[in-house]
Amino acid sequence: MTSKERVLAAIEHRMPDRCPRNAGFTSDSAVRMMAYTGASGIEELRQMLGIDIRSVYPSFHGKVRSSENGVNFDEWGIGRKSVKFEGEGYTGAYDEIVFSPLAEVKSVDEVMNYSWPNPDWWNYETVAYSAKPLAKSYWITSGAYSIFERSWYMMGMERFLTDIFCDPEIPLAVMDKILEFYTEQTLRILKSADGLIDQIDTADDIGTQRGMLISPKVWREHIKPRQAKFISTIKSAYPVKIWYHCCGGIAPIIPDLIEIGVDILDPIQTLAEGMQPEILKEKFGCEICFHGGIDTQQLLPYGTPEDVRKEVTRLIDILGRDGGYISAPTHIIQADVPPENVIAMFS
């Protein structure tokens, strides 16, 4: 099978020739892996590991606010500062949000009048250009969109979560503007790609280690309808699969995700409440494809290569029974993961 055929077989709950594989890398971990393997670049590294999925994106040509005191701003006006960390044999950095541009808004009018990003700021021709040499062999994805999560980035988590319960008018207006932008941008990506894209990615981290960050009731009232609208609009226009990322224990809403058209669920955080692979496969294995499951909290950074091989085999045996599973870590590979464990994960 080609990678494209292999992934499609898994999504359609047919048995592929082997379990499909996927993984992403932080820039720090990519450098570490390329030094370890001798790969000349990230694409050669993916090929060495047998990764079956490739992602393509439009290029940004808009303007952003200038950096101030070490804070970098994105096209939304969200400010982030790089925070470095280190451990035995590795160093890394993450960008942490330190400025939310709508944290102090007082009315829906202020939300409407904010300088929202414009889909015109991206060059969509680069999507087709990037996808053409890959699309025959690999499963091609685009996107990385979030309605709930982007909204709290804009307002700050405390304010957004408080208001969504007590005074939802402003957070709902923010979510609607974000939904409007992502819908338009996704349609432009798919139009430019002209059939080369197989999957659109969307995400909302609404889970924690012990359950959901917000109640299923509030999620169903405010967030589910917006995700459903996004998915239905995209699927009615183009024959693509929908990949949905949500960390944590989200078992209570998996039936809802299936209902609104999610095809692939990521990352299957097996250490979170209610996310045991045996239970998920029994309850939902015929209705959705699982993506992820390989623990990045304990197993990959601290386990041995043999521990990793055993767990990957166990997950494939459980989640990959009769298809329906793409083997992947529960987060992008970070700098604290020994290269030996990355190799073991896909060997």
* Domain regions of the chain by residue span: 3-63+117-165+178-345
Q: Which residues contact 106 (CB under 8 A, 6 or more apart)?
A: none
Q: How far is Cα 21 from Cα 37, in angstroms, rounded to an integer?
A: 18
Mean pLDDT by 10 residues, the chain (347 residues): 98 98 96 96 97 97 95 98 89 93 98 98 97 97 92 97 96 98 97 97 95 96 97 98 97 98 97 97 97 97 98 98 97 95 96
Residue for token pair 């589910």:
224
pLDDT at position 199, please?
98
In a 13 Å sphere around the CA of 336, the CA atoms on its Cβ side amount to 17
pLDDT in tens, 289-342: 999 999 999 999 999 999 999 999 999 999 999 999 999 999 999 999 999 999
Torsion sign (Cα): 308, 310, 316, 318: negative
Please state the pTM of the whole predicted model: 0.96
Cβ atoms < 10 Å from Cβ of 200 = 25
First to last CA, the chain: 18
Residue 89, pLDDT score: 81
Looking at residue 144, what is its pLDDT? Answer: 76
pLDDT given at position 120? 98
Beta strands in the chain (DSSP E): 53-55, 59-60, 71-73, 79-87, 90-99, 122-123, 139-145, 199-203, 207-208, 211-212, 241-245, 264-266, 289-294, 325-329
Q: State the CATH class of domain 3-63+117-165+178-345.
A: alpha beta
- Residue 282, judged by CB atoms within 10 A of its CB (0-12, 13-18, 19+), counts as exposed
pLDDT tens, 263-276? 999 999 999 999 99
Q: Which residues contact 111 (CB under 8 A, 6 or more apart)?
A: 102, 105, 170, 173, 174, 177
Contacts of 220 (CB under 8 A, 6+ apart): 253, 256
pLDDT on residue 290: 98
Closest CA to 259 of 290, 230, 287: 287
pLDDT of residue 87: 87
Q: Tell me what pLDDT residue 320 has.
A: 97
